[in-house]
Amino acid sequence: MHILITGATSGIGYRVAEALLERGHFVYLTTHTEKESQNLREKFKEEKAISIFKLDITNPKDYEKASTLSIDVLICHASLGVGGSLIDLDVTKIKENYDVNVFGNLSFIQKMIPILLARKGRLIVTSSIASIIPIPFLGSYTSTKASLSMLMKVLRMELKLLEKPISVSLIEPGIYNTGFNDVMLDEIAFYSKQHKKKLTKFQRLEKQIFKMMGKDSYKSIVKKFIKAVEASHPRKVYRAPFTSRIFTKIYLLLFG
């Protein structure tokens, strides 16, 4: 299959791209910046089944190249994490978060729907298990993922109403140690001054929980992407790792 993935410079997306190549697919690996593309082109210079280019999902000019390709599977994986207390996190930062995770993804998907329709393709969108749980200091990020998941659920139903054969699968990862969460958790520097002491204590606890729960190996989630790409009847939602799924259930009972 011909598969385009966004936000695949590093972390989970990069591993998914590698796994897809190993399984004989042609991969359009896209990156946030041109520099990241250049580095990866060098790395993959011997590989024939790959095309690497910059695709900033907030920049409609970058959609042009993608919209000329014949793609069977679109994996919308790019994302921005913004950390901070909702007590006083600058709303401009929250808007930036929505611009990438919600509006960027949706407008790129809209541009690509005609191609997916023509190829009877499938759409895979990376959300997060955090989209269903309220986590202090991650309200901006988790609410973007909740919105994205809901938009995709509605899109799936609308495509069915049109009897259009595009499947829509959500991938909802738990905690993986890619560095993505660390950036968000370290960003929590927007506390209300009067609550600083209490919040800092809680932030430390949160960082410990993320460290304890985080997986160094991405195999479990890469497997879910492969299933979403290759299964004859892909599922609506895939979640991994198992530990995060159990933790989420307990967390929801306590705080949901």
CB atoms within 10 A of CB 165: 13
CB of 194 to ligand NAP, least distance (A): 31
- Answer yes or no whether residue 108 interacts with ligand NAP by CB under 6 A: no
Q: Given the complex with ligand NAP, which of 14 and 190 has the nearer CB atom?
A: 14
Distances (CA, A) of 133 to 97, 111, 149: 18, 30, 13
| Residue keyed to tokens 């879910």 | 224
Segment contacting ligand NAP (CB under 6 A): 5-13, 84-92, 155-163, 228-236?
Answer: 5-13
Q: Provide, rounded to whole angstroms, the least separation between the CB of residue 36 and ligand NAP.
A: 6
Return the H-helix or E-strand segment holding 186: helix 180-186
Which member of 3, 4, 5, 12 binds ligand NAP (CB under 6 A)? 12
Torsion sign across C-alpha atoms 21, 23, 28, 32: negative
Q: How many residues bind ligand NAP (CB under 6 A)?
A: 27
Residue whose CB is nearest to ligand NAP in the complex, by number = 11
- Reported as half-sphere exposure (CB side, CA atoms, 13 A), residue 42 has a value of 5
Q: How far is the CB of 148 from ligand NAP (least distance, A)?
A: 9
Query: Checking phi first, is residue 194 left (phi over 0); if not, alpha (psi -120 to 50) or beta?
Result: alpha
Closest distance of CB 86 from ligand NAP, Å: 19
d(CA 120, CA 191): 48
Instruction: Yes or no: say if 6 and 112 are a contact pair by the CB < 8 Å rule.
Output: no
Give the nearest distance from C-beta 99 to ligand NAP in angstroms. Answer: 8
* 151 to 190: interface string for ligand NAP, x by CB under 6 A: ----------------------x-xx-x-xx---------
Least Å from the CB of residue 43 to ligand NAP: 15
Contact between 139 and ligand NAP by CB under 6 A: the answer reads no
Nearest approach in angstroms of CB 172 to ligand NAP is 7
CB closer to ligand NAP out of 126 and 191: 126
Tokens of 106: 């949706």
Locate tokens 């910046």: which residue? 33
By the rule CB under 6 A, 77 interacts with ligand NAP: yes
Q: Which residue, among 150, 153, 184, 178, has the nearest Cα to 168 in the 3D structure?
A: 153
- At CA 81, angle to CA 77 and CA 83, rounded to 5? 165
- Residues of this chain that interact with ligand NAP (CB under 6 A) are 6-7, 9-13, 32-33, 36, 56-58, 77-80, 100, 104, 126, 128, 173, 175-176, 178, 180-181
